[in-house]
Amino acid sequence: MNKNEILNLLESNTPDVLIQADKIRKQYVGDEIHLRGLIEFSNICARTCQYCGLRYENKNIIRYRLSADEIIQLAQIGKKSGLQTIVLQSGEDNYFSTDKLCHIIQEIKKLDVALTLSIGEKSYQEYKAYKEAGADRYLLRIETTDKNLYKKLHPNMSFENRMECLYNLKDLGYETGTGCLVGLPGQTLDSLAEDILFFKKLDADMIGIGPFIPHPDTPLGGANVDLTANLDLSIRVMAVTRILLKDINIPATTAMETINPNGRILALNSGANVVMPNITDDIHKKEYEIYPDKNNENLDSLISKIKSIGRFVAFTKGFRKKI
């Protein structure tokens, strides 16, 4: 598919592309759904991303940081409930040195689970150390491939460095996940088509696509966005991504479910094959407020939803099976 073809699919108003994505999903990755237990272990962040509630300059947020033991305990609880992947996510919290993180990684890997990190931009050496400690996967969304928009949204950050991080992760043998936000002020369909082409070029193993949801305590808090339109478009971007990258893992993201209580099902029926239940404790999951009213559906309710659409929870760790 070239850019014009992608653009045509993004512009079309028919469900055809969603139906096609669902067929390809079934053919390449089947009816099983992989669950990834998400632990949001710190909302302390040194960055100032204009859309994110965790941004350093937001003073209206209760900050927290879990201890190594608390993180490991949550992972144990996740494993006991049958989860086979643990995802550690946080703001860019410099308290967690390489040594501290490697200790946590090693302890969690003793549980015989796959381990994903989503902790932002680090050096090649740091990524290498986490990999050697046992980390299997890494999630780092490029957020947008529109360089000018990227610059506006990420003061004091470098688009080139974020790209380099992604290629470093690939180089180190991580299953590498990236993705983008959809519906950002100033974002064009053209740039979303470029995002999808970038996912293909990187040969990403996992793509997470989320609708932008304004957070009142951020510079973009007053942005005039149509949340339903953002959800529809993000599902469409996700579907086109499935059509192009047939065998990868694609989550039905929490932001989709936050906009519409049926968002996850819509996504699972339009190309998605992964769900990431939040297993952070109840107090802290509320404080990890990247956007308001984040959906926090529990594991049991998620599993019944999955069954209600004729799908089932996978028995494996859910690595990408490259075809």
Q: Which residues bind ligand SAH (CB under 6 A)?
A: 51-52, 89, 91-92, 118-120, 140-141, 143, 181, 210, 212-213, 215, 255, 290-291
CB 301 → ligand SAH: shortest distance, Å?
22
- 134 class by beta-carbon count within 10 Å (0-12 exposed, 13-18 middle, 19+ buried): middle
Pairing of strands 274-275, 206-211: unpaired
Q: Which is nearer to ligand SAH, 22 or 40 (CB)?
A: 40
CB 91 → ligand SAH: shortest distance, Å?
5
The SS3 of residue 87 is strand
CB 51 → ligand SAH: shortest distance, Å?
4
Q: Which is nearer to ligand SAH, 120 or 263 (CB)?
A: 120
Q: Which is nearer to ligand SAH, 52 or 206 (CB)?
A: 52
Q: Which is nearer to ligand SAH, 191 or 311 (CB)?
A: 191
In whole angstroms, what is the distance from residue 249 CA to residue 272 CA? 7
Q: Which DSSP state fits 290? A: S
In whole angstroms, what is the distance from residue 109 CA to residue 113 CA? 6
Alpha helices, DSSP H, located in the chain: 3-11, 16-29, 68-80, 98-109, 124-133, 147-153, 159-171, 189-202, 227-244, 254-259, 263-268, 282-287, 299-308
Other beta carbons within 10 Å of 1: 15
Q: Which is nearer to ligand SAH, 189 or 227 (CB)?
A: 227
Q: Which is nearer to ligand SAH, 92 or 195 (CB)?
A: 92
Instruction: Of 189, 297, 183, give the one whose Cα is nearest residue 231.
Output: 183
Q: Which is nearer to ligand SAH, 159 or 311 (CB)?
A: 159
User: How far is residue 192 CA from its own chain's centroid?
Assistant: 16
Torsion of CA 18, 21, 22, 25, to 10 degrees: -160
CB 297 → ligand SAH: shortest distance, Å?
17
Instruction: Of 289, 257, 323, give the one whose Cα is nearest residue 29.
Output: 323
37 forms beta bridges with 86
CB 157 → ligand SAH: shortest distance, Å?
9
Q: Which is nearer to ligand SAH, 7 or 140 (CB)?
A: 140
CB 90 → ligand SAH: shortest distance, Å?
6
CB 183 → ligand SAH: shortest distance, Å?
9
CB 140 → ligand SAH: shortest distance, Å?
5
Q: At 293, which amino acid appears?
A: D
In whole angstroms, what is the distance from residue 51 CA to residue 41 CA? 20
Place of tokens 């045509």: 8
Q: Which DSSP state fits 175? A: E
